[in-house]
Amino acid sequence: MCRRAESCRYFPEDPLSHVQRELPRYQSSLTSAESYNILTVQYLNRPMTCVTFITIDGRRMAVQVQSGSTVLEAAHANDVPMLGTCGGSLVCGTCHVKIGADARAQLTPPSEDEEDTLDLAFGVCSDSRLGCQVKIDDALEGVEIRLAPTMQSG
């Protein structure tokens, strides 16, 4: 099973960076110390899900990511060559990926904004989604995510 595969790597984001990013949402109701403690525990206890990225040249990269991360965040955290130029603001389409029908059935449907951005991407098909809009959770355990040709970096 992928979750136990030695080829998987854990999501390398530093817990402190996560807390610093999420802290402003909680500061109005809690002290900073309380927020830090709560968010650190939440971060460290998030379940891991194994996904496999397939690069343009066919290389398979099995990685473990924390549930709730987007495909784009997981790719960047694990050195997968995905651009994501706009940082998830739905304007560039450079995080275009292809996800099989079985896994797509587990996802929320694409928003109108995502579909509009995909209309501008190269090589779009029924399997196409934007990595910045796809959240990874346990339902996607073992999913294969194929990078689209527009993803080639460097």
Cα–Cα distances in Å, from 151 out to 97, 127, 136? 8, 15, 19
Q: Are 105 and 43 in contact (CB under 8 A)?
A: no
Taking the C-alpha atoms of residue 146 and residue 148, their distance in angstroms, rounded to an integer, is 6
CA angle (76 as vertex; 10, 129 as ends), nearest 5? 110
What order do you get walking across the sheet with 96-99 strand by strand? Answer: 60-66, 48-54, 144-147, 96-99, 128-130
Query: Residue 30 — very low, low, confident or very high, per pLDDT cuts 50/70/90?
Result: low
The strand ranges marked E within 55-150 are 60-66, 96-99, 128-130, 144-147
- The pTM of the full predicted model, rounded to 2 decimals, is 0.71
pLDDT surpasses 90 at 37 = no
Question: What is the separation of C-alpha 134 from the centre of its chain, rounded to a whole number of angstroms?
Answer: 6
Is residue 66 very low, low, confident or very high in pLDDT (cuts 50, 70, 90)? confident
The answer on pLDDT for 42 being more than 70 is no
**What superfamily would CATH give domain 47-151?**
Beta-grasp domain (3.10.20.30)
Domains of the chain, by residue range, sit at 13-45, 47-151
Beta strand spans in 20-142 (E): 48-54, 60-66, 96-99, 128-130
